[in-house]
């Protein structure tokens, strides 16, 4: 037999880890609700062109990392698994005419994304993002609102040492002249450029700035910076975003080298890192403004901004900082056991009735002796054991309070009421 394993770069989330995810997803949901971002979903795969146009043809994500699906029929559509959420959400915005809704449309989405990346710690081929978007607001107030929301999420999950790096990457007015300057800078050093970077020089020189190739680090340190060459409206936008961040007490670091790995960005760009950890370390999250994306995907020109936070990296960071709360399993209110080991149907029937009444119940469905059944009940932390025995003939069961060590006979007809009363006083008292 072959030994089957989860594909490279993917992980099983076993129950303990799944419940850690659930905890931070709950925090994300509650925050989204508090800030007025409503959850939505998009398909896990889209026409590949949505990503090619949206994220950009000459990006790592599209060139190297897109999971393209093999077409099965002549339907003709080429699909790819979503590498990120923004392009799909904007596609949905256009498709459903959301420009007629009250603006901005504020949405959030938590789910798996797929990138055919080289797997390593914190870098997976299937990973989870919490994505938040505000479409139809040119800012700068919403820019600050989103950055503050991202930081608050980290604080609420228990990561206090997260800082935000901020930059502006201009717009179609000021960027073209800058790109010419950047190209000239790299052309003068073309002999030192690695192969991929040399190929990208003429098509997308901005990508060289966030290249991970070691040879690029020193060259990039002295490259011309867009932040010094912004047009007046872009410069004014950045000044105002900074003023809004000051008002909400968010400290940030201006990082002129921050360009992000996706092509749709304009103006505001930001990333979240654990303090003192950027550089070699990976971003916990990132985002920015994409004022051209809606039009690029076929809609009317509409501004937008958002971020995505990598949930796997949040969990890893929590583990590293010793901040993961112990997993609290839901303890059952009662465990149904029986004196006759073979009477599994009887135990299942009663447990089903109690569950139908909304109670958290386990039942012994094996055929172990009563003593062993009661051991399981204690091990699972049940408050009560419901013991089926001879009294059942008279419509009664034994109700043992495992915590108090007391036991009494209760009519089956009263059992639900008794257990509910105990459950309520247990929870609230
Ligand atoms: P991104 O920077 O490509 O942005 O990804 C956001 C976050 O997702 C990263 O900072 C990281 O935490 C996590 N992430 C990315 N790739 C991986 C991976 N292979 N394994 C684990 N975690 C990963 C975007 O995706 C944009 N859509 C963000 C955005 C939303 N911009 C505007 N709106």
- Distance from Cα 199 to the centre of ligand 1, integer Å: 25
| Rounded Cα distance, 241 and 235, in Å | 10
Per-residue pLDDT for 31 more than 60? Answer: yes
Q: What is the mean pLDDT of residues 230-243?
A: 98
Q: What is the mean pLDDT of residues 388-414?
A: 96
**Structure tokens, 400:** 């043992």
| Rounded Cα distance, 307 and 28, in Å | 13
pLDDT level of residue 280 (50, 70, 90 thresholds): low
Closest approach atom of ligand 1 to CA 86: 27
**Structure tokens, 298:** 């076929």
Bigger pLDDT: 307 vs 77: 307
DSSP conformation letters of 191-230: GGS-HHHHHHHTT-THHHHT---TTHHHHHHTS--GGGS-
Pairing of strands 105-114, 38-39: parallel
Per-residue pLDDT for 429 more than 50? Answer: no
- Distance from Cα 308 to the centre of ligand 1, integer Å: 6
Per-residue model confidence as pLDDT tens digits over 73-98: 777 789 999 999 999 999 999 999 99
Closest residue (by CA) to atom 17 of ligand 1?
Answer: 123
- Distance from Cα 81 to the centre of ligand 1, integer Å: 15
Percent of the chain with pLDDT over 70: 97
Per-residue model confidence as pLDDT tens digits over 183-226: 999 999 999 999 989 998 998 898 899 888 888 989 999 999 99
Closest residue (by CA) to atom 12 of ligand 1?
Answer: 310
pLDDT level of residue 279 (50, 70, 90 thresholds): low
**Structure tokens, 199:** 């190929």
The contacts of residue 227 (CB under 8 Å, 6+ apart) are 167, 168, 238, 254, 256
Count of beta carbons in the 10 Å neighbourhood of residue 152 = 16
Helix (H) or strand (E) holding 252: strand 252-254
Q: CB of 259 within 8 A of CB of 210?
A: yes
Alpha helices by DSSP H, listed for 166-308, are: 175-187, 195-201, 206-209, 216-221, 232-247, 293-296
Closest approach atom of ligand 1 to CA 309: 7
Q: What is the DSSP letter of 123?
A: B
Closest approach atom of ligand 1 to CA 287: 31
Per-residue pLDDT for 428 more than 60? Answer: no
Give SS3 for 131.
strand
Closest approach atom of ligand 1 to CA 61: 3
Percent of the chain with pLDDT over 90: 84
Res 239: pLDDT: 98
The average confidence (pLDDT) of the chain is 94
- Distance from Cα 285 to the centre of ligand 1, integer Å: 6
| Rounded Cα distance, 256 and 268, in Å | 11
pLDDT level of residue 326 (50, 70, 90 thresholds): low
Ligand 1 neighbours, Cβ below 6 Å, are 84-86, 115, 117, 122-124, 127, 129, 131, 133, 261-262, 283-288, 290, 306-308, 310, 312-313
- Distance from Cα 309 to the centre of ligand 1, integer Å: 6
pLDDT level of residue 71 (50, 70, 90 thresholds): confident
């Amino acid at each position: 037999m072959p030994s089957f394993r989860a594909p490279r770069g993917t992980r099983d989330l076993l129950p303990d880890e799944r419940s850690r995810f659930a905890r931070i997803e709950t925090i994300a949901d509650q925050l989204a609700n508090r800030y007025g971002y409503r959850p939505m979903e998009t398909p896990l795969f889209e026409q590949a062109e949505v990503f090619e146009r949206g994220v950009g043809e000459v990006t790592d994500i599209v060139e190297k990392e897109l999971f393209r699906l093999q077409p099965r029929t002549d339907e003709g559509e080429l699909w790819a698994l979503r590498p990120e959420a923004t392009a799909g959400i904007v596609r949905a915005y256009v498709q459903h005419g959301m420009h007629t809704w009250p603006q901005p449309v504020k949405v959030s989405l938590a789910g798996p994304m797929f990138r055919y990346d080289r797997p390593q710690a914190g870098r997976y081929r299937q990973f989870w993002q919490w994505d938040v978007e505000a479409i139809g607001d040119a800012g700068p107030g919403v820019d600050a609102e989103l950055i503050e929301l991202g930081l608050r999420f980290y604080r609420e999950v228990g990561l206090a040492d997260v800082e935000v790096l901020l930059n502006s990457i201009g717009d179609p007015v000021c960027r073209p002249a800058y790109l010419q300057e950047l190209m000239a800078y790299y052309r003068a050093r073309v002999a030192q450029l690695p192969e991929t970077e040399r190929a990208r020089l003429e098509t997308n020189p901005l990508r060289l700035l966030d290249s991970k190739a070691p040879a690029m680090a020193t060259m990039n340190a002295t490259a011309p910076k867009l932040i010094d060459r912004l047009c007046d409206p872009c410069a004014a936008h950045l000044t105002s975003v900074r003023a809004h961040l000051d008002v909400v007490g968010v400290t940030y670091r201006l990082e002129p080298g921050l360009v992000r790995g996706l092509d749709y960005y304009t103006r505001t760009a930001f990333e979240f890192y654990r303090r003192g950890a950027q550089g070699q370390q990976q971003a916990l999250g990132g985002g920015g403004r994409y004022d051209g994306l809606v039009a690029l995907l076929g809609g009317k020109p509409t501004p937008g901004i958002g971020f995505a936070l990598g949930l796997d990296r949040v969990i890893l960071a929590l583990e590293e900082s010793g901040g993961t709360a112990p997993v609290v399993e839901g303890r059952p209110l009662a465990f149904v056991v029986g004196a006759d080991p073979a009477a599994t149907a009887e135990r299942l029937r009663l447990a089903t009735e109690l569950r139908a009444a909304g109670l958290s119940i386990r039942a012994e469905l094996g055929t172990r002796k009563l003593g062993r059944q009661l051991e399981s009940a204690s091990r699972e932390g049940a408050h009560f054991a419901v013991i089926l025995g001879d009294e059942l003939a008279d419509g009664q069961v034994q109700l043992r309070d495992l915590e108090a060590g007391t036991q009494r006979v209760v009519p089956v007809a009263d059992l639900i009421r008794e257990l509910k009363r105990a459950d309520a006083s247990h929870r609230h008292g």
